């Protein structure tokens, strides 16, 4: 254990995150559901706060609809973003350690998502922090396992966000 980690193996910079997130053990489904909730609930709270503070900030405009849109949001984006996440996350982990890597990865993805809608990055930074930790944690069990865990959690995040957006839109 290095000076930059706490007793549980978590990097000091991520000591505020629950311990389970750093243990690739037990049921993958149980882990995925817990990690998804940990990613989802704070991001929903952030989205609500942003909507209250800046109601005209907008949401991304997607030029496609129907089944194509669902496939993009629920399958393609989680898989593609997970694959794109790997090289910078691993490079950062080698250069600065896992805590800085997870934080840097989350900030990178927040910045990229802010290109579409500036305040959107504030909502997605938290889920990408969790996804980055999941990728680093499950990598110890194999790259394929890590990629599937992250893409699955990301797909659940997108599905919930999409369902809530549709419900809110239908109610207005």
pLDDT tens across 52-101, in order? 998 877 666 666 678 888 898 999 999 999 999 999 999 999 999 999 99
Is there a domain that residue 27 lies in?
no
Other residues' Cβ atoms within 10 Å of the Cβ of residue 44: 15
Is there a domain that residue 153 lies in?
yes
CA-to-CA distance for 34 and 98, rounded, in angstroms? 21
CA-to-CA distance for 118 and 96, rounded, in angstroms? 28
Give the model's pLDDT for residue 1: 37
CA-to-CA distance for 35 and 160, rounded, in angstroms? 14
CA-to-CA distance for 20 and 11, rounded, in angstroms? 13
CA-to-CA distance for 7 and 126, rounded, in angstroms? 24
Range of the structural domain that residue 98 is part of: 40-51+63-171
Is there a domain that residue 72 lies in?
yes
Is there a domain that residue 154 lies in?
yes
Is there a domain that residue 47 lies in?
yes
Is there a domain that residue 20 lies in?
no
Give the pLDDT confidence of 6-61 residue by residue, as tens digits.
445 789 999 999 999 999 999 999 999 999 999 999 999 998 898 899 887 766 66
Report the greatest alpha carbon distance in the chain: 53
Q: Count how many domains the chain has.
A: 1
User: Does residue 166 register a pLDDT over 90?
Assistant: no
Is there a domain that residue 1 lies in?
no
């Amino acid at each position: 254990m290095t000076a930059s980690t706490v007793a549980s193996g978590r990097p000091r910079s991520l000591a505020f995150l629950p311990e389970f997130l750093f243990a690739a053990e037990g049921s993958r489904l149980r882990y995925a559901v817990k990690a998804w909730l940990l990613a989802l609930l704070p991001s929903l709270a952030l989205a609500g706060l942003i909507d209250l503070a800046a109601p005209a900030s907008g949401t991304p405009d997607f030029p496609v609809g129907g089944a194509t849109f669902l496939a993009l949001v629920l399958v393609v984006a989680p898989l593609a973003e997970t694959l794109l996440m790997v090289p910078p996350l691993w490079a950062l982990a080698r250069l600065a350690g896992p805590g800085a890597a997870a934080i840097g990865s989350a900030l990178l993805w927040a910045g990229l998502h802010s290109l579409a809608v500036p305040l959107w990055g504030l909502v997605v930074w938290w889920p990408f922090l969790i996804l980055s930790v999941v990728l680093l944690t499950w990598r110890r069990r194999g790259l394929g396992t890590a990629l599937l865990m992250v893409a699955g959690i990301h797909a659940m995040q997108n599905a919930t966000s999409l369902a809530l957006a549709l419900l809110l839109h239908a109610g207005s």
